[in-house]
Structure 1
Amino acid sequence: MFNIGDTIIYSAHGLCQIDGISEKTISGVTKTYYVLHPLNNEKLEISTPVDHQSISSLMDKAEAEEILNLFTQPGIEWIEKGNQRVQFYSQITKKGNRKEIAKIINTLLVKQHEFELNEKKFPQQDRKLLSSIQSILFAELALTLNTTSEKISEKVAQLLGINQEAIAVNG
């Protein structure tokens, strides 16, 4: 169990700080809940059961460096059919495995770069998925490695050999 003041990863909200721990009874069932807010939105208050599967602790420095190193290797397989691709990649990201998420980001960034080089429009659904998972992972890497998301973005661009502007963190 986490403590008040801890920073965690929570689902699609990314980095969150725990502001409180309380018991709530909903439909006759009493559970312990975390009260938290995303670090990038202090006005949003989220209440979630302490046993929710979408909560995880921050990675350590060794894992962060290992994840950055994944950007020197090929990413995940590119699926030509857009709907199948986004569905498959989304299923993987929901599992929360940061290494697999990094591989998806790797593939999407490289493909986005290829689309732009060929003056083609990168599919909106891919852009949306990339933006959400990239901002969460890069923010966590930045916090763990005591740097900024922008510096992580620059490092990833360098490792992938692509234009840094192509992967500017949105959000």
Structure 2
Amino acid sequence: MFQVGEYIVCDHNGVCKVLGIAEMPELKKDILYYQLEPVYSKGSRIFVPVDSDKLVLRRVSSEEEVEALLDEIPSIETMWISNEKKREEEYREVARRYECREWVKIIKTIYLRKKSRRLEGKKITYIDEKYMKLAEDNLYGEISIPLHLTPDKVEKFIRERINKAAVSVIEE
């Protein structure tokens, strides 16, 4: 069970702060609900059954987990699928997990696709654009918490970290 004040990932709502845990007789008796506030959508409230098995509910990654993920980014494999319909299905399937590593996989895949398409004189597809935004919003939103950064600073932080690691490898 999550504690009041804790930050969690709540499925498609992203990072939320647990504001309370209580029964809500007007919804259903004898069921405890988390009262959640989406961190990046202040003012809204979400009520989720504590024992919900229909939603992804998990703790926000710790600083140590984020540091390990950042070190792993260069080796995380991409999803190279040429069929447009199958690619969207794969993006959707990966996105449903709401895991940072999976968001990185989507971002890397689309970044490389975008680069490739640009060389061919083509634009990024709507589906790629949609899933890139979804992945970036979720990844940056989550890891901003343990890194004590605002989400808009996370991409730059990651790029600098990867570039610094690449320079270190070259210098060795």
Question: The TM-score by the shorter chain falls in which range?
Answer: 0.7 to 0.9
* Fraction of identical pairs, as percent: 24
Quickly say closer, same or farther: Cα 1:98–1:2, change in 2 above 3 A. same
Residue of 96, 103, 114 corresponding to 2:98: 96
Q: What's the TM-score, normalizing by structure 2?
A: 0.80
Aligned to 2:22: 22
Conserved? CA contact 1:74–1:107, under 8 Å? no
For residue 69 of structure 1, report the CA deviation from its aligned partner: 2.4
Contact 1:75 / 1:104 at 8 angstroms: preserved in 2? no
The aligned counterpart of 1:38 is 38
Based on CA coordinates, which of the two structures has the bigger radius of gyration? 2
Counterpart for residue 85 of structure 1: 87
Q: Secondary structure at the match of 1:37?
A: strand
Asked if the contact 2:106–2:131 (Cα under 8 Å) also holds between the matched residues in 1, the reply is no
Maintained 8 Å contact 1:70/1:102: no
- Distance in 2 (alpha carbons) for counterparts of 1:2 and 1:22: 12
Instruction: Indicate which of 70, 73, 77 corresponds to 2:72.
Output: 70
Alpha-carbon distance change, 152 to 114 in structure 1, aligned in 2, over 3 angstroms: farther
In structure 1, the residue matched to 2:148 is 146
Task: Report deviation, 1:64.
Answer: 0.4
Give the distance between the partners of 1:46 and 1:28, measured in 2 at CA: 15
List gaps (5 residues or longer) in structure 2. 164-172
Residue type at the aligned position of 1:99: R
In structure 1, distance between residues paired with 2:28 and 2:103: 38
Does the Cα contact within 8 Å between 1:36 and 1:47 map onto a contact in 2? yes
Give the C-alpha shift of residue 160 in structure 1: 6.9
2:119 & 2:152 partners in 1: Cα distance? 22
SS in 1 for 2:106: helix
The match for 1:168 is none
Q: Secondary structure in 2 aligned to 1:44?
A: coil
* Distance of 1:79 and 1:69 partners within structure 2: 25
Q: CA offset at residue 115 of structure 1?
A: 2.6
Partner of 1:165: none
| CA displacement at 1:60 relative to structure 2 | 1.2
Tell me the TM-score normalized by structure 1: 0.81
Alpha-carbon spacing, 1:36–1:74, altered in 2? closer, same or farther (3 Å): closer
Which digits, 9 at most, give the CA deviation of each residue in 1:87-124, with x for residues without a partner?
Answer: 11211221233223322221112222333344421111
Structural RMSD (CA):
2.4
Counterpart code for 2:70: L
Structure 1 residues 39-54: aligned runs within 5 Å: 39-52=39-52, 53-54=55-56
Q: Does 1:122 align with 2:124?
A: yes
1:105 matched residue in structure 2: 107
Q: How many pairs align?
A: 161
Q: Judging changes above 3 Å, is the alpha-carbon distance between structure 1 residues 108 and 75 closer, same or farther for their aligned structure 2 residues? A: farther
Evaluate the alpha carbon distance shift between residue 41 and residue 27 of structure 1 in structure 2; reply closer, same or farther with a 3 A threshold.
closer
